[in-house]
Chains A and B, each alone.
Chain A
Amino acid sequence: GEDVEQSLFLSVREGDSSVINCTYTDSSSTYLYWYKQEPGAGLQLLTYIFSNMDMKQDQRLTVLLNKKDKHLSLRIADTQTGDSAIYFCAESMGGKLIFGQGTELSVKP
């Protein structure tokens, strides 16, 4: 199947770390992506990881990939109120992107 699954909601306090989890099904996906969507807007690519990597760090963002379990996570360090948005993971399959349902991150001051 082509299921990419995420938990729907996450609430954290400003300054804490946020961890958003995702599971995917296609072990042949070459790239896995994290996108951010603010209300009423399109998608912004945050980061991506190549399937032969275990971890990728980019400033406050850390992506972990467990290929055996087909599990992907996005950690946001020192979460700010401006990080409040919906976060989508996506896997590439045959040139197409298959998206998860999105995780709504709420950051409380």
Chain B
Amino acid sequence: GAVVSQHPSRVICKSGTSVKIECRSLDFQATTMFWYRQFPKQSLMLMATSNEGSKATYEQGVEKDKFLINHASLTLSTLTVTSAHPEDSSFYICSAREDRKNEQFFGPGTRLTVL
């Protein structure tokens, strides 16, 4: 149990295009999901907290118009990187906090490469 999936696992796109990444909790409900970004050999940096049915809360320095988050159901949150640039290339990881247990489970990550 407590599996979180992300799709796609890898994506390569051209500069200026938008990319959507999905995060799903497969066997539990998650009112709250988190989006992280990880650069090579570095830690996970929290980008935003996604709350089902309401607006996401962004961390300082993260542009909400650039990284659009939608959490339309208790099992799905999406992160859209709009007008992607090469500096947006990174590993994006989501986590979902199980409502019943207050425990976070992490997805396998999405490797984004912007050419």
Contacts and interface: CB of A to CB of B under 8 A. Distances in A.
A97 B94 CA distance: 12
Contacts of B109: 40-42
Interface in B52-102: 93, 95, 97
Contacts of B107: 42
Interface in B4-19: 4, 6
A95 B105 CA distance: 13
A102 B106 CA distance: 16
Chain B's interface size range is 20 to 34
Interface in B30-45: 32, 34, 41-44
A40 B91 CA distance: 9
B34 A42 contact: no
A43 B43 contact: no
A96 interface: yes
B49 A100 contact: no
Contact of A88 (B43, B95, B108): B43
B44 A43 contact: yes
A101 B38 CA distance: 10
Contact of A101 (B42, B49, B105, B106): B42
Contacts of B41: 102, 104
B104 interface: yes
A42 B46 CA distance: 14
Interface of A: 35, 40-45, 88, 95-102, 104
Interface of B: 4, 6, 32, 34, 41-44, 46, 49, 93, 95, 97, 103-109, 111
A-B residue pairs, 6 tightest by C-beta: A42-B108, A43-B106, A42-B106, A99-B43, A101-B43, A42-B109
